Structure 1
Amino acid sequence: MKDKLLALLNAKNAEKTALAQRADGVDSAEELRSINAQIRSISNEIETINELIKIADESEKREKEREKLVLVAQNRETGASSEEYRAIAKVILKRDITPEERALVTVADNGAILPEEFVNQLQLLRKGFPSLKKYCHVIPITGKTGKMPFATIGTNKLSKLVSGSAIPEGSKVTEDINYSIDDYGKIIPVENSLTDDEVVGLIQNVITPEFAEASVLTENDEILAIITANADAVSGATSYEDVEAAMNGVLPSLRSGLVTITNLSGYVYLKGLKDGELRPLNLITTLPDGTDVFNGRPIIVMDDADVAPTTPGDMIFYVTNLWALVKFFDRKGYEIGSSKEVLFNYNQTAIRVLERFDVQKLDDRACKKIEFTKPA
């Protein structure tokens, strides 16, 4: 995020400089006032971006501290954990293993199921990326395909029972969802000359952080596809107040899981808004756990490329209850396997890490898209 903020800062500074140069050659007082107003607006944005860069710097420091904790945890591994990783390294490199090492590894589909410690480290590193999954309804499953019933929130009521009378039949309030788990993976080339210990370090220090980032971004893509396909566009929107109005208009039964999703440009816009006295409106506040909140609900900031407006330059926001909208079928466990044939000509082994999940849509009543041109 910091790189994008710096690029945005440079662009705004260039825009401000161009306006200042334009002002030097203006004869009309009215046009000069207009240019000065634009310069003041851009100056406010620059001030906001500088504040966000400071926040990004602090976030980087926290991330480095988190990585240090992971390394400390790795250095404090028990002998059993180290042996488990070493056994996995031998399996994926197709090397001879002892019966004791084979007992340490769970093998499935010619691959090794990664140990719980890997999963714990992966989850720790995933916290450094904006994940939409944690706001969805996550359902652990064991099979590849199936069907599961879900209740529609806000339509359920109990019937009053009267002695001697038949129990009233209620309307159908459940919907069956079919799921089919897909495999999502990442290929990492490894030199065949690496020792077992070097492969253990590779799993811990390269594969784990790379897969953590790729895992979050892939899940986000699938979830965003459901959001964008089912969002109702709010017509006539002109400012952040329309985003608040969309949130306030959500059914009471769906408000508790409400979130706002925007891109970096939308976030900068909200953070930079000021009142008539040029005092910050403080529309976004940060909770002690680091969660950003807008209008009393979490706001999630994504990359501009992932959350893009229909018209370039417009502000875009999605207001949705992800728990109601997205059912995330999660097949637990990560599998690691390898192939020497794929990269044979390069004298490398291709290591593949897989996760398995599926996402399906259920209740889209609280899913709105608000897009508008940034006010001058």
Structure 2
Amino acid sequence: MKDKLLALLNAKNAEKTALAQRADGVDSAEELRSINAQIRSISNEIETINELIKIADESEKREKEREKLVLVAQNRETGASSEEYRAIAKVILKRDVTPEERALVTVADNGAILPEEFVNQLQLLRKGFPSLKKYCHVIPITGKTGKMPFATIGTNKLSKLVSGSAIPEGSKVTEEINYSIDDYGKIIPVENSLTDDEVVGLIQNVITPEFAEASVLTENDEILAIIAANADAVTGATSYEDVEAAMNGVLPSLRSGLVTITNLSGYVYLKGLKDGELRPLNVITTLPDGTDVFNGRPLIVMDDADVAPTTPGDMIFYVTNLWALVKFFDRKGYEIGSSKEVLFNYNQTAIRVLERFDVQKLDDRACKKIEFTKPA
């Protein structure tokens, strides 16, 4: 199609050149305008085709990248990471390892620290679950306990200095938060009869998806607990318009990180909104990356059991700036260990995976709870 249009365009340009050379009066001028119009039309068609080809190429490129990420996440690609998994699997199951394999493993206490490649793959898999952590202020730390200062935003102003007078003492502009890292773990039983190849698959197909889901759900529970404990309830709410009003009333400095959290029932309610003539209001839009947006801000949909209203059947929404509210202290690294004694009677080995983090509250000025009975 494109080749035919290009040939036609060349023919029309040649016809235009010949006509311009002839230039024998009004008739040729009218004919020239007609040819120019045809050339513009053909050029527009070619431009449209080029744009469609570009979109198709970009779509194919994204699909290839997605397939590559899936392959990485499932560890189907060959490379050094496969050797690391094999070495770790043999270490935690107390099997003989070569000096080369031993050099690939970082040992901590009675377990091993999973390599960075594993953590990256874990993050890829976690994208399949609704995670609140990415909206919080994540702070990597190395120690188990400590404290960290954070700037407080309020009504602080500069003082006018007067010659000969002492500089007035300003109000406190920082707040220190104490953190204490907790261990969160999961025990996964595996058969003692696994071969070396099977223990490599153990990490790929059992530990990774099991721990990924458990990790996200646990982090969400801790974050939601802070939201629920610090949210100011909006009284007199009757519809989604009150949710929008709560969002619009947030201080300008806190709007950029604002999100709305609801459950599946709240999502269904918003999607089903119609005007007086029963036309969809379309208050939710979905971005190309799959992010749902309500009133210009991300809409996070959780399970009804995780975000439950005070009165069963009510609609519930939390409007909050998670980055300002939740400080997520993240002790990097996932420790994996094993024990044969725990499940001795079952002839199984208990694989334990640990994640370490703490969550603390800071700025709760943008944290509202809107709950109302669904309009009839």
Judged with a 3 Å threshold, the aligned counterparts in structure 2 of structure 1 residues 97 and 7 are, in CA distance, closer, same or farther, namely: farther
Judged with a 3 Å threshold, the aligned counterparts in structure 2 of structure 1 residues 160 and 23 are, in CA distance, closer, same or farther, namely: farther
- 1:169: which partner in 2? 169
Q: Deviations 1:25-81 (Å, cap 9, x if unpaired)?
A: 999999999999999999999999999999999999999996874335655544422
Judged with a 3 Å threshold, the aligned counterparts in structure 2 of structure 1 residues 352 and 250 are, in CA distance, closer, same or farther, namely: same
Output the CA distance in 1 between the equivalents of 2:206 and 2:358: 26
Judged with a 3 Å threshold, the aligned counterparts in structure 2 of structure 1 residues 73 and 228 are, in CA distance, closer, same or farther, namely: closer
Output the CA distance in 2 between the equivalents of 1:142 and 1:299: 33
Judged with a 3 Å threshold, the aligned counterparts in structure 2 of structure 1 residues 316 and 83 are, in CA distance, closer, same or farther, namely: same
Judged with a 3 Å threshold, the aligned counterparts in structure 2 of structure 1 residues 77 and 57 are, in CA distance, closer, same or farther, namely: closer
Q: Based on CA coordinates, which of the two structures has the bigger radius of gyration?
A: 2
Judged with a 3 Å threshold, the aligned counterparts in structure 2 of structure 1 residues 106 and 278 are, in CA distance, closer, same or farther, namely: same
Shift of 1:114: 0.4
Shift of 1:8: 57
Shift of 1:99: 2.0
Shift of 1:239: 0.5
Whether the 8 Å contact between 2:13 and 2:39 is mirrored in structure 1 is no
TM-score, with length taken from structure 1 = 0.80
Whether the 8 Å contact between 1:20 and 1:39 is mirrored in structure 2 is no
Output the CA distance in 2 between the equivalents of 1:231 and 1:326: 12
Whether the 8 Å contact between 2:73 and 2:124 is mirrored in structure 1 is no
Whether the 8 Å contact between 2:2 and 2:49 is mirrored in structure 1 is no
Q: Which moved more, 1:303-312 or 1:242-251?
A: 242-251
Whether the 8 Å contact between 2:75 and 2:82 is mirrored in structure 1 is no
Superposition RMSD in Å: 16.0
Q: Deviations 1:222-278 (Å, cap 9, x if unpaired)?
A: 000001111111111111111111111111111111111000000000110011111
Output the CA distance in 2 between the equivalents of 1:346 and 1:17: 90
Q: Deviations 1:296-344 (Å, cap 9, x if unpaired)?
A: 1111000000000011100000111111111000000111110100100
Aligned pairs for 1:204-219 (under 5 A) are: 204-219=204-219
Shift of 1:153: 3.0
Shift of 1:16: 68
Whether the 8 Å contact between 2:250 and 2:366 is mirrored in structure 1 is yes
Judged with a 3 Å threshold, the aligned counterparts in structure 2 of structure 1 residues 60 and 76 are, in CA distance, closer, same or farther, namely: closer
Judged with a 3 Å threshold, the aligned counterparts in structure 2 of structure 1 residues 363 and 24 are, in CA distance, closer, same or farther, namely: farther
Whether the 8 Å contact between 1:23 and 1:35 is mirrored in structure 2 is no
Whether the 8 Å contact between 1:2 and 1:56 is mirrored in structure 2 is no
**2:74 partner SS:** helix
Q: Deviations 1:3-35 (Å, cap 9, x if unpaired)?
A: 999999999999999999999999999999999
Shift of 1:108: 0.4
Q: Deviations 1:91-118 (Å, cap 9, x if unpaired)?
A: 1101122222111100101111001111
Judged with a 3 Å threshold, the aligned counterparts in structure 2 of structure 1 residues 272 and 35 are, in CA distance, closer, same or farther, namely: farther
Judged with a 3 Å threshold, the aligned counterparts in structure 2 of structure 1 residues 159 and 115 are, in CA distance, closer, same or farther, namely: farther
Whether the 8 Å contact between 1:321 and 1:366 is mirrored in structure 2 is yes
Shift of 1:369: 0.6
Judged with a 3 Å threshold, the aligned counterparts in structure 2 of structure 1 residues 200 and 14 are, in CA distance, closer, same or farther, namely: farther
Output the CA distance in 2 between the equivalents of 1:348 and 1:35: 82
Output the CA distance in 2 between the equivalents of 1:208 and 1:358: 22
Output the CA distance in 1 between the equivalents of 2:225 and 2:18: 39
Output the CA distance in 2 between the equivalents of 1:235 and 1:18: 78
Judged with a 3 Å threshold, the aligned counterparts in structure 2 of structure 1 residues 72 and 328 are, in CA distance, closer, same or farther, namely: closer
- 1:328: which partner in 2? 328
Judged with a 3 Å threshold, the aligned counterparts in structure 2 of structure 1 residues 190 and 247 are, in CA distance, closer, same or farther, namely: same
TM-score, with length taken from structure 2 = 0.80
Shift of 1:169: 3.1
Aligned residue pairs, count: 376
Shift of 1:136: 0.6
